[in-house]
Amino acid sequence: MKKISLILILALTVVSFVSCSDDDGPSIAYQYAEVTGETLPDFFDLDEEYDITVTYELPDACNEFYTFNGGTHEDEDDESVLIYDIQVLTSYDPNVTECTEEGELTETKTLFEDFGIPSDFQYETIRFRFLTGANEDDEAEFLTVDVPVGEPEAEDPEETPAE
């Protein structure tokens, strides 16, 4: 009887272990959203603060905003340009095979609140590169916006000849 009990306990343990490893429970996967617009000033005044927003298109209604992703680096060809690379990362459950949720696919979120340029800033331009997707060669495509630091000098109006 003890042998049968031991075999039964071992069998139940193995079945329990195998059923847990095949768990199709919730999980999270990530996907980039297509950036479709932004709000940036025409130029950045030193020591001023700006709210910068990004508008993007969710891949489908099952996706939801997760975070902004990216970083900064100096332009390799022009050391007076600082580049912000920005992507919108969304999350979804890959176990959901049919998305029945209704929802708006276009959203706008604040990227930076109170974004400011200090008076000792060394760059003349900030280039924002927002990921919009990939082309047929699977190369990233960007919405690129250059914003000068400091108010651009006003151009002299053209003089009109005297009559």
Output the pLDDT for position 119: 85
Nearest Cα to Cα of residue 122 among 86, 155, 75: 75
pTM of model > 0.85? no
* Structure confidence by residue, pLDDT tens digits, 5-31: 444 454 444 444 444 445 555 689 999
Task: Label residue 100 by pLDDT band (50, 70, 90).
Answer: low
Residue 80: pLDDT band (50, 70, 90) is very high
Q: Tell me the CA distances in angstroms from 104 to 37, 56, 73, 139, 151, one per residue in order.
A: 16, 11, 34, 28, 38
Which residues lie across from 75 on neighbouring strands? none
Using DSSP, state whether 45 is helix, strand or coil.
coil
The count of C-alpha atoms lying within 13 angstroms of the C-alpha of 124, restricted to the half-sphere facing its C-beta, is: 5
Query: Confidence band (pLDDT; 50, 70, 90) for 153?
Result: confident
- What is the share, in percent, of the chain residues with pLDDT greater than 70? 75
Mean model confidence pLDDT for the chain:
83
Biggest alpha carbon–alpha carbon distance for the chain: 120
Q: Give the model's pLDDT for residue 116.
A: 92
Indicate if the alpha-carbon torsion angle 53, 58, 62, 65 is positive or negative.
negative
